[in-house]
Amino acid sequence: MPLIPDRAEEPERRASRAAPPRPDAAGFAVLYFYEANFDAVLGFVTRRTACPHLAADLTADIFVAALQAAGQYDLRRGAPAAWL
């Protein structure tokens, strides 16, 4: 058995590792929600903390909490931005 394996059969394996995973509809919804609200949340937090690094950390925490509590969102009670 050679020390270096035959790489002739690996292009498919390399291609499958390099390809990004296919997001499902929920993945697209989360991405859309994040992109649609990120600037507003970051701006809101930055104005209140006056520290860009802290604001970035808190913004990340806000979106993590929102993702974890997404099942509690009720459209009848207001817009997603207000819920955030």
Mean residue pLDDT of the chain comes to 79
Helical H segments across 1-79, by residue range: 11-18, 25-49, 52-68
Domain boundaries defined on the chain: 25-83
| The pLDDT value given to residue 1 | 46
Name the residue with higher pLDDT: 62 or 11. 62
Measured N-to-C along each axis, helices 25-49 and 52-68 cross at an angle, to the nearest 10 degrees, of 140
Query: What pLDDT band is residue 44 in, cutting at 50, 70 and 90?
Result: very high
pLDDT at 17 over 80: no
Over the range 9-32, which residues count as b (16 or more CB within 10 Å of their CB) and which as e? eeeeeeeeeeeeeeeeeeeeebee
